[in-house]
Amino acid sequence: MKLKKSWINSANDAKSQFPLNNLPYGVFAMPDDDEAGAHCGVAIGDMILDLTLLEEEGVLVVSNEPVFDLPFWNEFIELGPDAWAALRTRLEDLLAEGGDDTVSGDADLKSRALIAQSAVEMQLPIVVTEYTDFYASRHHATNIGTMFRGAENALPPNWLHIPIGYNGRASSVVVSGSDVRRPWGQLKSPDQDSPEFLPCRRFDLELEMGAIVGTASDGPITVAEADENIFGYVLLNDWSARDIQAWEYQPLGPFQSKATATTISPWIVTKAALEPFRCMTPPREVPLLPHLQDVGPMLYDIDLTVTLAPEGKAATTITRTNYSALYYSAAQQLAHHTTSGCPMNVGDLLGSGTISGPTKPERGSLQELSWGGKEPLTLETGESRCFLEDGDTLTLYGTAQGDGYLIGFGECTGTLLPALKDPYKR
């Protein structure tokens, strides 16, 4: 697939993350708007096309009732795959060089409907109904397992059979740009008899991608159905308190260690935009049970990087990996999620799990990069890191390389604020 040209020049730059081929969906507000004033929009080059405005003015009609009147995409997503395809076709037409000139040919409408990305603040693109986090990178699971349980028991016996996951906390999902406060929690080092309640000392990132459920289901669905039911993907940083996790996670799994914040990119890249980048899951060491077997290429070739910038200093790229390094696809995770009859809803967010590749520079967390704090990472500023320090800004990027164009997610960034001195003082 080649670049599709738009009459918005910045979208035709080979380095733009938002060419006409992409058309990712988000929610934006002018800095002085209140939340109710935020609009749904699509990124094109360095601009945003205001879909709420176009719907209000009758240029865009996707349903009998307005669906862009609320500042999140759930109402539109509820309309289903035919509506998803129809909107994409309509937007391609409105934004293509030589396409429908309703916007491009109307100077007044154009000036009102196109807003510079630099002028807005992005909000969460959806109401996250529920959030599930998986553990689908074999390299990550092996690294973590080796540190926690030794190389012999690194991969749990179920790992090659089940896309292991746990329920996360939807209320903790925030949009890129939100500051994250270092949490307090119970910590106990092996040499202590009892835990203490202290600020987390091992706060970490997890480089992930998130899949957004676009079609509800009410019983077990196949992997092929699950793939159909996914609306699109976001970048996702599942901030993790490793020391809280180590003490709390037995026997029922991570809880407060994962509940401080999970940051997602402001743009949802649709499955349609990612279609040219589909690739296969890796060969299976043991066959998957029939209900989880691969039914085609369901991962995507998306380059992922993470940068870390100490407060007021330049950023260092600390990891480079690829979404295709996962063992299980989001479709397989979603299919597994429904095996017990668990109802899934539009707006459910499924984190992939930390994405680590086979080599050290491809590891998706500081826990792995510093091998549990034993091998500090040296930044380009000369500083070293085992875990995050106050003021650090973490930024995730994801891009798929097409023929003369990129598909990008924007950035997924957040700055770590110091812990409160007394979390109970108001």
Residues in touch with its own copies (CB under 8 A): 129-130, 135, 145, 148, 156-158, 161-162, 164-172, 181, 183-186, 188, 194-197, 219-222, 241, 244, 247-257, 259-261, 286, 289-291, 336-337, 339-345, 348, 420, 423-424
Q: Pick the closer one to its own copies by CB: 63 or 345.
A: 345
220 exposed, middle or buried (CB, 10 Å; 0-12, 13-18, 19+)? Answer: middle
Q: 305: helix, coil or strand?
A: strand
Q: 354: helix, coil or strand?
A: coil
What phi and psi values does residue 143 have, to the nearest 5 degrees? -60, -50
* Cα 325 from Cα 148, distance rounded (Å): 22
Tell the smallest beta-carbon distance from residue 364 to its own copies (Å).
17
Task: Give the bridge partners for 262, in sequence order.
Answer: 173, 238
Tell the smallest beta-carbon distance from residue 415 to its own copies (Å).
15
Q: Pick the closer one to its own copies by CB: 118 or 250.
A: 250
Structure tokens of 152?
Answer: 């012999």
* Cα 25 from Cα 42, distance rounded (Å): 5
Q: Pick the closer one to its own copies by CB: 32 or 285.
A: 285
Q: Pick the closer one to its own copies by CB: 109 or 155.
A: 155
Chain centre to alpha carbon of residue 391: 22
Tell the smallest beta-carbon distance from residue 196 to its own copies (Å).
7
Tell the smallest beta-carbon distance from residue 374 to its own copies (Å).
21
- CA atoms lying within 13 Å on the CB side of residue 340: 3
Tell the smallest beta-carbon distance from residue 285 to its own copies (Å).
12
Q: Pick the closer one to its own copies by CB: 69 or 179.
A: 179
* Cα 353 from Cα 371, distance rounded (Å): 18
Q: Pick the closer one to its own copies by CB: 104 or 257.
A: 257
Query: Which letter does DSSP use for residue 133 in this model?
Result: E
With contact defined as beta carbons under 8 Å apart, do 19 and 3 qualify? Answer: yes
Tell the smallest beta-carbon distance from residue 345 to its own copies (Å).
6
Tell the smallest beta-carbon distance from residue 188 to its own copies (Å).
8
Residue identified by tokens 């598909």 is: 407
The residues annotated with a catalytic role in the active site are 140
Q: Pick the closer one to its own copies by CB: 56 or 78.
A: 78
Q: How many CB atoms lie within 10 A of CB 284?
A: 12
* Peptide bond before residue 310 is cis, with ω within 30 degrees of 0: no
DSSP string, 63-100: SSS-SSSSSSSHHHHTT-HHHHHHHHHHHHHHHBTTS-
Task: Give the bridge partners for 408, in sequence order.
Answer: 399
